[in-house]
Amino acid sequence: MTRNTTGLGARLQAVLCDIRAAELKFDRPPGSVELLAVSKTHPVEAIRELAARGQRAFGESYLQETLPKMAALADLPLVWHFIGPIQSNKTRAIAEHFDWVHSVDRMRVAERLSLQRPPALPPLNLCLQVNIDAEPTKAGVAPEALWALAQAVVCLPRLRLRGLMVIPTPGPEPAAQRAPFRRLRVLYDACLARGFTLDTLSMGMTADMEAAIAEGATIVRIGTALFGPRGGQSDRIIASSMTTESTPHAGE
Ligand SMILES: *Cc1c(COP(=O)(O)O)cnc(C)c1O
């Protein structure tokens, strides 16, 4: 089966150009914003295609899906970022296979990641996910609980606290989009003022990338603008071929 990766190279170029343009527009140093290619639900061929064009950092949210993809791409020097919700029983696989985790929001998960990080690997890079709008149903540590969590996490030997991550409720227009990113930036600056040595603000997705760069993002997590929409026909074929041994009606 051939999969359609046509246009991926052009979309990568376009996203990189948009990042550079936003850096210029908002007086950010050139190269200060890194592209994390969010490849969840997308096939190894697409990742390979982007890797061949120089993209190194890839973000994934679902362990079951990611581990086989990592194995298939083990010949490439990729940097893997876990950005999805973390259940305690999944920490070992995350600690063993990823270079970064963006979505830690409680001490129990941080402790397990530190304990389970293999000694042969460097410390696991970590961002704390902040529930910046303090919405009861959303993941992330509450802003007022951030200090205590950060203080405890920096004492864990096998983790390296790099910064903060946010997934705000999407706002329609740029001004509204910037507000939650600015609040995360204020928290980040307060962390620096308290002596935490951080260098990462993980914020901005396809719909709000420019607003995030305007407010200081150092990593933007981009899926749709690179790979196209998730949940398309090719994604369903791949998802079903991962979960079943045979595909009885495979007409493709
Ligand atoms: C899926 C996902 C993204 C990418 O979103 P797009 O809108 O497709 O760019 C970014 N961050 C997180 C945490 C995600 O789960």
Q: Average pLDDT in the 142-149 region?
A: 96
What is the rounded distance in angstroms from the CA atom of residue 169 to the CA atom of residue 177? 9
59 in Cβ contact with 84 (< 8 Å)? no
Q: Which atom of ligand 1 is nearest the CA belonging to 227?
A: 8
Domain with residue 209: its CATH number is: 3.20.20.10
The mean pLDDT of the chain is 91
- 252 is a domain residue: no
Lowest mean pLDDT among 39-43, 60-64, 198-202, 237-241: 237-241
Q: What is the DSSP letter of 84?
A: S
Per-residue pLDDT tens over the stretch 214-252: 999 999 999 999 999 987 544 544 444 444 333 333 332
* Ligand 1 centroid from CA 203, angstroms: 10
Total-model pTM:
0.90
- 13 is a domain residue: yes
Q: For residue 195, is it left (φ>0), alpha (ψ between -120 and 50) or beta? A: left
Q: Which residue has the tokens 């362990």?
A: 63
- 251 is a domain residue: no
* Ligand 1 centroid from CA 248, angstroms: 32
- 3 is a domain residue: no
What is the rounded distance in angstroms from the CA atom of residue 200 to the CA atom of residue 33? 10
- 248 is a domain residue: no
Torsion sign, CA atoms 106, 139, 121, 68? positive
The tally of domains found in the chain comes to 1
Per-residue pLDDT tens over the stretch 149-207: 999 999 999 999 999 999 998 788 888 999 999 999 999 999 999 999 999 999 999 99
Show the domain range for 66: 8-242
* Ligand 1 centroid from CA 221, angstroms: 6
- 32 is a domain residue: yes
- 2 is a domain residue: no
- 1 is a domain residue: no
